[in-house]
Amino acid sequence: MNDRWPVWKLALMLYVFAAGAVAINLFMLGLLGQALGLPMLSPETTVLVSIPLGIPAAWASAMWARHLMDEADKR
């Protein structure tokens, strides 16, 4: 029996954390942009933008976690 977790299940589990990380990073980037004269990104805007951007971030995190799990199974 194959008990490997598929990448899509890992991505679903990690989505909330990945989207949260994207939101925090976008907000911090917005604060840095203010120092350069760009308009501020509100917290609401960063959360709304992080919803779709969290999908590729979650997928990348899941691929990384799957790789680490595969490496651990080899030993």
Rounded to two decimals, the pTM is: 0.86
Residue boundaries of the structural domains of the chain: 7-74
Tell me the pLDDT of the chain (75 aa) as tens digits.
Answer: 568 889 999 999 999 999 999 999 999 999 999 999 999 999 999 999 999 999 999 999 999 999 999 999 887
CA geometry: angle at 63 spanning 24 and 1, to 5°? 135
pLDDT for 70: 93
pLDDT for 3: 81
